[in-house]
């Protein structure tokens, strides 16, 4: 019985406060050791463990390079803006771009990446030809508009913002060719390139394209951007400049995205002192509430990694009397702009945001950034929203006790600064390719020699469906193609389920994620209101919800996932024999669990009267893991492979940049493990992990062997996954660790992928 009681106070260990007192004391000692600041005291006076505290000092904060290398009119233009010197990366980027090279620029927020590409762009425009600057959002284009227009007008050039909010005069200036620089977004260019002949004529004069915030062009948006630039290149030859604050693989990603070679130019700088804190907590929501409450008089941005976490955090903060607001894509433009304006004016001082506010929109001074776990490069982008004028700022990274990667960084916090934020794209997303090839045919007939193998195969399918016709060696659109093109969305692919409350449309969720979030009985939070789904009709793409009273319940789906391989595209032999492939996934939701939002305690099981089924095509990879050494546990082999699948997917948060929520996995008792993109057509995430599998196994091994749970099945810190559709059963941590050790030592099996070209009768564990 002694092991149940604390030897110091004699209380039951689960009620003992000795450990909490010792954690709090260590936190306060760490604050004093690293650099005591009175305003930081509330962040350290906590029962949550402060794993790491670093004070990151300013460095290379002043520009050093003279302007004498520039033509006099360009140097004069910068001086009028108050810029008398440049940072070294700006000078190098300008020189390379003025030599005609394609360049990708990486540097922290607020150090002049815009000038680095804008000056050479203006130089090209002065010598004939037009330039186009792509911003991922209209808000960012508006934010940068004044600066670009200032530079352009100083040189006798005209810059025009061309997006859905542009007025008649601005549109006329673009379509009549009476502007030199077009500030726009990919959605606008996609639409007018396909539908407006006058715009296509303008595109024949393009000589320079700039792509700001390159890191946003991942997944489906990146797939579409790849083909949009390819479509533009059918009308003109141009050079490309890209800029990003976060990407670790910027050149590799730009080359994959645009299919050309790039020169990488980087700058590392910091203007103000940053206090970076890692807080390890059993509850994300309680930790955020405590931090925001303690610093409620400062201007704070809380970054969540998903709609669900952002909505839940905001709901909890408002329940506790804190004046917070949400900022996320999907909200009406006027709502987002109102939040930005109120925060800038100080009418609200707490904003809870998805990554939308990572971008360079001016929202005024920010003192504190609190964030869910993201890679270091992305975290620096987020905390770059604070301290932009050189003042001291605070960045808090929340490490969740129930998250295996958070636990990994708790034991090896310095590894956090080594991991990368990587861009990823799946260029051969068939759903994207179909619409993009239709667009190409509408814009200008497509000759067969223009197409690679995959594009030619898609074009032949379109021809068989009567969407395009071939005449004189070129493909032309039919009326059916024109009709299909009207339904195209540049930002997403596939269908979305519309959500209705009392007959009124309140929002939508894209498939396939909608199946896991809008099944009958599910609880969702939307714009600060809790709802329960009462009906999901996938044929009509409609969900009916009712409003819920106050409560702390959330729901997790119980489901099966059944794979079928369509085509193998690539095979590797190290560290395992694995195949990357086109794959068909069938989701079958058959029930759900209700949990408490704070401690995730299970409250109830529910089974659906009728399962919800949805099938989609995507990309993923398959490998056959070596069997662990024999051991006498129930469901030993199935549990070992299932646990390994969970941990490998969780490692993607360190390897790919927080992508585990956008991926799925399947294991079978025979040792075959699938990892796939949880999006229609594929996003490129699984391909990025496929290329970095050795690192995934190394991190998995560390997580499994360092966890202190001592349990055979593991725990939320090592093997459990809240995405698991089988209620985290069966799992075996010991067997999974043995498999990871074997793989790292070079033990492998041949993967028999051909048996999955049909749906087979076997136990699958999602």
Nearest to 251 by CA among 260, 264, 242: 264
Task: Give me the mean pLDDT over the 349-366 stretch.
Answer: 81
Q: What is the fold of 72-266?
A: Rossmann fold (3.40.50)
Q: Which residues pair with 504 in a beta bridge?
A: 501
- Look at residue 1 in the predicted model and tell me its pLDDT: 47
Instruction: Give the mean pLDDT of 723-743.
Output: 93
Kindly report the three-state secondary structure assignment for every residue of 675-724: EEECCCCCCCHHHHHHCCHHHHHHHHHHHHHHCCCCCCCCCCCCCCCCCC
pLDDT for 258 beyond 60 = yes
Segment 475-503, tens digit of pLDDT: 999 999 999 998 788 877 778 899 999 99
From the list 10, 294, 250, the residue with the least C-alpha distance to 113 is: 250
* pLDDT band per the 50, 70, 90 thresholds, residue 661: confident
Q: 132 forms bridges with which residues in the sheet? A: 182, 209
Task: Find the angle CA(217)-CA(246)-CA(293) to the nearest 5 degrees.
Answer: 105
Specify the pLDDT at position 12. Answer: 52
Q: What was the pLDDT predicted at 6?
A: 59
Is the CA virtual torsion 160, 164, 168, 174 positive or negative? positive
- Top-confidence residue, 266 or 19: 266
- Any idea of the CA torsion for 484, 485, 489, 495, to the nearest 10 degrees? 10
Residue 421 pLDDT: 76
Give the pLDDT score at 214: 94
- Strand pairing category for 474-477 and 446-447: antiparallel
Instruction: Round the CA-based radius of gyration of the chain to a whole number and report it.
Output: 27
Q: Which residues lie below 8 Å from residue 331, measured CB to CB, with a gap of 6+?
A: 527
Q: What pLDDT is stored for residue 228 in this prediction?
A: 98
The confidence score (pLDDT) of residue 653 equals: 75
Residue 531 has pLDDT above 70, yes or no: yes
Q: For the chain, what is the largest distance between any 2 Cα atoms, rounded to a whole number of angstroms?
A: 90
| Position with higher pLDDT, 232 vs 490 | 232
Average pLDDT over residues 430-449: 95
- Only one residue has tokens 């025009």, namely 160
Per-residue confidence (pLDDT) for residue 307, from 0 to 100: 82
Residue 16 confidence (pLDDT): 56
- Looking at the chain, the whole-number percentage of residues with pLDDT higher than 90 is 67
Burial of 617 (0-12, 13-18, 19+ CB in 10 A): middle
Domain 272-417 CATH class label: alpha beta
- Please state the rounded mean pLDDT for residues 118-146: 92
Cα dihedral across residues 251, 253, 254, 255: positive or negative: positive
What is the DSSP code string of 393-432?
EEEEEEEETT-HHHHHHHH-GGGGGT--------TT-HHH
Residue 407 has pLDDT above 90, yes or no: no
pLDDT of residue 763: 67
pLDDT at res. 7: 60
Whether the predicted pLDDT of 14 surpasses 60:
no
- As a CATH number, domain 430-485 is 1.10.10.10
Q: Which of 187-191, 427-431, 588-592, 673-677 has the lowest mean pLDDT?
A: 427-431
This prediction's pTM = 0.84
Q: pLDDT tens-digit profile of 563-583?
A: 999 999 999 999 999 999 999
Percent of the chain at pLDDT exceeding 70:
95
Q: What is the mean pLDDT of residues 735-742?
A: 97
Question: Comparing 272-417 with 430-485, is the CATH topology the same?
Answer: no
Q: Average pLDDT of the chain? A: 90
Mean pLDDT throughout 201-215? 96
pLDDT tops 80 at residue 391: no
Q: What's the CA angle centered on 745, arms 744 and 746, to 5 degrees?
A: 90
Closest CA to 613 of 559, 694, 678: 559
Say whether pLDDT at 374 is over 90.
Answer: no
Cβ distance 44 to 30 under 8 Å? yes
pLDDT digits (tens, 9 = 90+) for 670-711: 999 999 999 999 988 899 899 999 999 999 999 999 888 889
How do the domains of the chain map onto residue ranges? 72-266, 272-417, 430-485, 556-757
Lowest mean per-residue pLDDT among 168-182, 515-529, 607-621, 739-753:
515-529
């Amino acid at each position: 019985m002694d092991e149940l009681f604390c030897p110091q106070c004699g209380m039951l260990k689960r009620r003992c406060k000795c450990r909490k007192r010792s954690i709090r004391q260590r936190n306060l000692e760490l604050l004093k050791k690293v650099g005591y600041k009175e305003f930081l005291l509330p962040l350290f006076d906590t029962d949550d463990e402060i794993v790491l505290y670093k004070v990151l000092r300013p460095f290379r904060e002043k520009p050093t390079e003279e302007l004498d290398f520039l033509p006099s009119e360009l140097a004069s233009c910068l001086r009028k803006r108050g810029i008398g010197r440049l940072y070294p990366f700006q000078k190098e980027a300008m020189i390379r771009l003025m030599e005609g090279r394609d360049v990708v620029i990486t540097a922290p927020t607020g150090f002049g990446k815009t000038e680095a590409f804008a000056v050479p762009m203006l130089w090209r425009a002065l010598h004939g030809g037009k330039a186009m600057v792509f911003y991922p959002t209209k808000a960012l284009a508006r934010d940068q508009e004044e600066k670009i227009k200032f530079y352009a007008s100083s040189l006798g050039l005209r810059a025009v913002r061309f997006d859905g909010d542009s007025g008649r005069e601005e549109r006329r200036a673009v379509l009549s060719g009476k502007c030199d620089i077009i500030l726009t977004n990919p959605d606008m260019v996609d639409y007018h390139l396909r539908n407006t002949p006058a715009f296509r004529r303008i595109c024949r004069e393009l000589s320079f394209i700039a792509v700001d915030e390159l890191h946003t062009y991942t997944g489906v948006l990146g797939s579409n951007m790849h083909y949009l630039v390819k479509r533009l290149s059918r009308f003109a030859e141009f050079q490309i400049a890209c800029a990003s604050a976060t990407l670790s693989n910027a050149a590799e990603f730009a080359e994959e995205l645009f299919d050309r070679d790039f020169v990488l130019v980087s700058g590392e700088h910091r203007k103000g002192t940053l206090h970076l804190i890692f807080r390890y907590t059993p509850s994300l929501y309680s930790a955020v509430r405590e931090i925001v409450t303690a610093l409620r008089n400062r201007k704070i941005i809380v970054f969540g990694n998903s709609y669900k976490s952002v909505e839940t955090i905001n709901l909890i903060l408002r329940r506790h009397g804190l004046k917070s607001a949400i900022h996320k894509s999907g909200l009406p433009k006027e709502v987002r702009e109102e939040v930005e304006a109120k925060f800038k004016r100080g009418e609200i001082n707490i904003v809870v945001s998805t990554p939308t506010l990572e971008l360079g929109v001016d929202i005024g001074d920010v003192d504190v950034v609190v964030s869910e776990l993201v890679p270091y490069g992305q975290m620096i982008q987020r905390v770059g929203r604070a301290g932009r004028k050189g003042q001291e700022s605070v960045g808090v990274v929340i490490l969740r006790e129930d998250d295996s990667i958070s636990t990994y960084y708790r034991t090896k916090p310095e590894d956090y600064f080594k991991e990368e934020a990587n861009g990823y794209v799946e260029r051969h997303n068939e759903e994207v390719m179909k619409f993009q090839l239709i667009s190409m045919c509408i814009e200008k007939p497509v000759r067969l020699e223009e197409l690679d193998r995959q594009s030619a195969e898609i074009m032949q399918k379109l021809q068989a469906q009567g969407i395009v016709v071939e005449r004189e060696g070129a493909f032309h659109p039919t009326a059916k193609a024109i009709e299909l093109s009207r339904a195209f969305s540049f930002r997403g692919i596939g269908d979305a389920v519309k959500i209705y409350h009392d007959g009124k449309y309140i929002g939508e969720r894209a498939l396939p994620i909608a199946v896991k979030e809008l099944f009958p009985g599910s609880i969702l939070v939307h714009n600060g209101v809790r709802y329960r789904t009462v009906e999901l009709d996938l044929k009509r793409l409609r969900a009916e919800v009712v409003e819920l009273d106050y409560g702390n319940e959330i729901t997790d789906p119980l489901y099966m996932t059944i794979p079928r391989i369509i085509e193998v595209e690539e095979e590797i032999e190290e560290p395992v024999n694995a195949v990357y492939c086109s794959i068909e996934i069938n989701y079958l939701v058959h029930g759900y669990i209700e949990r408490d939002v704070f401690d995730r305690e299970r409250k109830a099981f529910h089974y659906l009267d009728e399962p919800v089924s949805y099938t989609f095509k995507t990309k993923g990879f398959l490998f056959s893991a070596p069997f662990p050494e024999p051991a006498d546990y129930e469901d030993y082999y199935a549990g070992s492979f299932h646990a390994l699948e969970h941990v490998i997917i969780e490692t993607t948060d360190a390897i790919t940049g927080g992508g585990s929520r956008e991926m799925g996995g399947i294991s079978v008792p025979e040792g075959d493990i699938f990892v796939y993109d949880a999006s229609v057509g594929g996003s490129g995430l699984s391909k990025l992990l496929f290329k970095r599998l050795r690192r995934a196994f190394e991190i998995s091994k560390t997580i499994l062997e360092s966890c202190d749970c001592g349990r055979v099945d593991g725990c939320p810190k090592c093997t459990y996954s809240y995405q698991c559709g089988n209620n985290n059963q069966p799992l075996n941590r010991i067997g999974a660790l043995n498999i990871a050790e074997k793989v790292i030592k070079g033990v492998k099996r041949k993967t028999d992928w051909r048996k999955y070209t049909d749906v087979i009768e076997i136990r699958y564990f999602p």
